[in-house]
Amino acid sequence: MAESTSLLRRIARPGGSRPALTPARALRLAMTRAAEHSIGLPLAVLGVAEEEGTLDDLLSRFEAGLLYLALAEGDEPVGVVAVDPEARAAAIEMQALGRVSPILPEPRPVTAADAALARPLLSAILREIEQALADTALAGWLRAPRLTQRLPSTREATMLLSDGRYRVVRLTLDLGAGGRQGLFLLMVRLPRPKPIEPEPDRPVITVAAQAMGAQADLEAVLHRLRLPWEAAEAFQVGQVIPLPGVTVASVRIEGGGQDIGAARLGQVAGMRAIRIEAPPDSDLEEMPSFGGPSGLPPMLSEDF
């Protein structure tokens, strides 16, 4: 069996001597191998169909009378596997009689014994399909699912499985006796998309440090006055120029042609210095009320 599995992988491998397997071809090979190696049932696959959809939509298309077994990954239900009465009967006959009878079985309800006898075949099918799909477009769809409880109908499957997107594959089987045909269905939830990881926080690049470290030229202006050109030419060294109304608190700090604020002229350690002043508080105060009967000053009262 190990040699056959190795051969199947070499056939499916894109770099091998033969073209890679298509999903349909891989499913055909997996089904025939599983039936032969598990219960010795020689069968052929007549057709393969595959579709995706929501849980309720896919289950609503399942045929009546199927044998259902739930599938789980770990403790999480992920799908169902099912066979119709013809395939179920062929699996039982092969194990009980060693051959498939050409006579069609009588319709009857599914029992727990049917599920137990079908388990070896279904377990082998799951293993073979997972291996066969490894090098196809459906790789990763099956993730080692295991058989769990029998489900009486699709209603219980709907209650057991979570909502999401599922894939169903249908294999029509030639059971090799008197033209008998069977049906195998496998429905498994599609892998959930990986959550988008947030991009790592990028450092915020600002020019604050460069701007705060830039050179700033400031001017301390005590007073500005306009003079005729001839008066400016008459200035002499040591001459005292009157600045009416100017005090040590009249200094203004300017930079880039804009008035930045007020300052006071002084000295520090024998050197001229200025001290930046806080903006003066508003001098506006509330007007006192007058005691006249009309609320007006006496000089403007109505008796005037």
> Which domains are seen in the chain, by residue range?
2-189 (3.40.1550.10)
Q: Pick the residue with more confidence: 14 or 268? A: 268
Do the Cβ atoms of 99 and 177 come closer than 8 Å? yes
Q: What confidence tens digit (pLDDT) does each residue in 67-85 have? A: 999 999 988 999 999 999 9
- In the β-sheet with 181-189, what is the strand arrangement from edge to edge? 44-54, 165-174, 181-189, 76-83, 67-73, 146-151
Distance, CA of 41 to CA of 119 (rounded, Å): 14
Confidence of residue 258 (pLDDT cuts 50, 70, 90): confident
pLDDT in the model for residue 125: 96
- Range with the poorest average pLDDT among 142-156, 183-197, 249-263, 288-302: 288-302
Handedness of CA 237, 238, 240, 243 (dihedral sign): positive
pLDDT in the model for residue 189: 96
The alpha carbon of residue 303 and the mean position of all alpha carbons in its chain are separated, in whole angstroms, by 86
Residue 273's DSSP bridge partners are 266
The alpha carbon of residue 38 and the mean position of all alpha carbons in its chain are separated, in whole angstroms, by 42
pLDDT in the model for residue 301: 41
Residue 80's DSSP bridge partners are 70, 187
Handedness of CA 100, 106, 107, 113 (dihedral sign): negative
Closest CA to 164 of 52, 76, 63, 62: 52
Does the pLDDT at position 292 exceed 70?
no
Does the pLDDT at position 304 exceed 50?
no
Q: What confidence tens digit (pLDDT) does each residue in 200-254 have? A: 766 667 777 777 777 878 888 878 888 888 878 888 888 888 877 777 777 888 8
